[in-house]
Structure 1
Amino acid sequence: MTPSAMNMTKEQKEQQDIDDWLPITSSRKAKWWYSAFHNVTALVGAGVLSLPYAMSELGWGPGVAAMILSWVITLYTLWQMVEMHECVPGKRFDRYHELGQHAFGQKLGLWIVVPQQLIVEVGVCIVYMVTGGKSLKKFHDVVAPADAAPIRTSYFIVIFGSAHLLLSQLPNFNSITVVSLAAAVMSLSYSTIAWVASLEHRRHGGSSHVVDYSMTASTSAGRTFNFLSALGDVAFAYAGHNVVLEIQATIPSTPGKPSKKPMWLGVMVAYLVVAVCYLPVAFVGYYVFGNAVDDNILITLEKPRWLIAAANMFVVVHVIGSYQIYAMPVFDMLETFLVKKLRFHPGWPLRLIARSLYVVFTMIVGIAIPFFGGLLGFFGGFAFAPTTYFLPCIMWLIIMKPKKFGFSWCTNWICIIIGVLLSLLAPIGGLRSIIINAKTYKFFS
Structure 2
Amino acid sequence: MGVDARKEDNQWPLLESSSQSMLPPVDRTGNLWTAVAHIITGVIGSGVLSLAWCMAQLGWIAGPLCMLVFAVVTLVSTFLLCDCYMSPDPESGPNRHRSYLEAVQVKLGDKNAWVCGLFMCISLYGIGIAYTITSAISMRAIQKSNCYHDEGHEAPCKYGDTLYMLLFGGIQIFMSQIPGFHNMDWLSVLASIMSFTYSSIGMGLGIAKVIGDGYIKGSIAGVPTSTAIEKVWLVCQALGDIAFAYPYSLIVLEIQDTLRSPPTESLTMKRASSVAIFVTTLFYLSCGGFGYAAFGDDTPGNLLTGFGFYEPYWLIDFANACIVLHLIGGYQIFSQPLFGVIDRWFATKFPNSGFINNEYTLEIAFFPAFR
TM-score over 0.5 for the alignment?
yes
1:275-354 equivalence runs, <5 A: 275-298=281-304, 299=306, 300-341=308-349, 343=351, 345=353, 347=355
CA distance in 1, matches of 2:358, 2:132: 23
For residues 209 and 49 of structure 1, the distance between their equivalents in structure 2, rounded to whole angstroms, comes to 18
Number of aligned residues: 331
Q: Secondary structure at the match of 1:250?
A: coil
Residue matched to 1:38: 38
Partner Cα separation in structure 1 for residue 218 and residue 81 of structure 2: 42
Q: What amino acid maps onto 1:38 in structure 2?
A: H
8 Å CA contact retained: 2:303, 2:309: yes
The structural deviation recorded for 1:34 is 1.7
Quote how far apart the aligned CAs of 1:199 are. 1.4
SS in 1 for 2:184: helix
What SS class does the counterpart of residue 41 from structure 1 fall into? helix
1:178 corresponding residue in structure 2: 186
Once residues 26 and 356 of structure 2 are traced to their aligned partners in structure 1, the CA distance between those partners, rounded to angstroms, is 14
Q: Is 1:93 aligned to residue 94 of structure 2?
A: no
Offset of 1:348 from its aligned partner?
Answer: 6.2
Higher fraction of strand: 2
1:83 and 1:96 mapped to 2: Cα distance?
12
Distance 1:218 1:108, change over 3 A: same
Question: Aligned partners of 1:343 and 1:53: how far apart in 2?
Answer: 51
Match of 1:107 among 111, 117, 122: 111
With over 3 angstroms needed to count, the CA separation of the structure-2 counterparts of 1:268 and 1:26, relative to structure 1, is same
User: What fraction of aligned residue pairs are identical, expressed as a percent?
Assistant: 28
Within 1, Cα distance between the matches of 2:289 and 2:316? 19
1:303 and 1:344 mapped to 2: Cα distance?
A: 59
Which whole-Å CA distance do the structure 2 matches of 1:351 and 1:63 have between them?
49
Does 1:167 pair with 2:170? Answer: no
**Are the aligned partners of 2:56 and 2:218 in contact in 1 as well (CA < 8 Å)?**
no
Selected match of 2:135 from 107, 132, 136? 132
The 1:343/1:109 distance shift into structure 2, 3 A limit, reads same
Residue number in structure 2 paired with 1:252: 260
- Separation in 2, partners of 1:260, 1:209: 43
Q: CA deviation at 1:307?
A: 1.5
Secondary structure of the residue aligned to 1:37 is helix
Contact map agreement 2:347 2:357 (CA 8 A) in 1: no
How do 1:358-437 residues align onto structure 2 when only pairs under 5 Å count? none
Which position in structure 1 is the counterpart of 2:363?
none
Aligned position for 2:251 = 243
| Structure richer in helix, relative to its length | 1
3-state SS of paired residue (1:235):
helix
State whether residues 46 and 237 of structure 1, in contact with CA within 8 Å, keep that contact through their aligned partners in structure 2: no
In 1, distance between residues paired with 2:269 and 2:140? 37
**Which residue number corresponds to residue 366 of structure 2?**
none
- Alignment deviations for residues 50-74 of structure 1 (CA, whole Å, 9 cap, x no partner): 1111112222222122111111111
Give me the whole-angstrom Cα distance separating, in 1, the residues matched to 2:64 and 2:110.
40
Q: Residue in 2 aligned with 1:146? A: 150
Q: CA deviation at 1:272?
A: 2.7
Which residue does the alignment assign to 1:194? 202
Query: Do the aligned partners of 1:36 and 1:267 also contact (CA within 8 Å) in 2?
Result: yes
Conserved? CA contact 2:59–2:218, under 8 Å: no
Deviation of the 1:351 alpha carbon = 9.3
CA distance in 2 between counterparts of 1:50 and 1:102 reads 38
1:272 pairs with 2:278 = yes
Q: Which runs of 5+ in 1 are unaligned?
A: 1-13, 353-445
SS at match of 2:259: coil
Aligned to 1:68: 68
Equivalent residue letter for 1:108? N
Evaluate the alpha carbon distance shift between residue 63 and residue 210 of structure 1 in structure 2; reply closer, same or farther with a 3 A threshold: closer
Which residue identity lines up with residue 315 of structure 2 in the other structure? L
| Aligned residue identity for 1:103 | K
Structure 2 CA distance for partners of 1:239 and 1:90, relative to 1, 3 Å: same
Superposed displacement of residue 42, structure 1: 0.8
Q: How does 1:4-43 map to 2 (within 5 A)?
A: 18-20=22-24, 26-43=26-43
Task: Call closer, same or farther: CA 1:210–1:190 in 2, change over 3 Å.
Answer: closer
In 1, are the aligned partners of 2:36 and 2:275 still within 8 Å (CA)? yes
Paired residue for 1:221?
Answer: 229
Shift of 1:138: 0.9
Native 8 Å contact 2:217 2:294 kept in 1: no
Q: Structure 1 residues 66, 211: CA separation in 2 closer, same or farther (over 3 Å shift)?
A: closer
Shift in CA distance, 142/102, structure 1 to aligned 2, threshold 3 Å:
same
RMSD: 2.8
Aligned partners of 1:48 and 1:278 also within 8 Å: yes
Q: Structure 1 residues 317-326 or 194-203, which shifts more?
A: 194-203
- Which of 225, 232, 237 is matched with 2:240 structurally? 232
For residue 245 of structure 1, report the CA deviation from its aligned partner: 0.5
Deviation at 1:294, TM superposition (A): 1.8
Distance 1:230 1:121 in 2: 22
Contact 2:68–2:281 at 8 Å: present in 1 too? no
Q: What is residue 119 of structure 2 aligned with on the other side?
A: 116
Note closer, same or farther for the CA distance 1:306–1:224 as it changes in structure 2 (3 Å cut): same
Q: Output the CA distance in 2 between the equivalents of 1:67 and 1:337.
A: 39
Structure 2 unaligned residues grouped into runs of 5+: 1-18, 361-371
Cα separation, 1, equivalents of 2:30 and 2:223: 47
3-state DSSP of counterpart to 2:140: helix
1: CA distance between counterparts of 2:179 and 2:139?
A: 27
How much has 1:319 moved relative to structure 2?
1.0
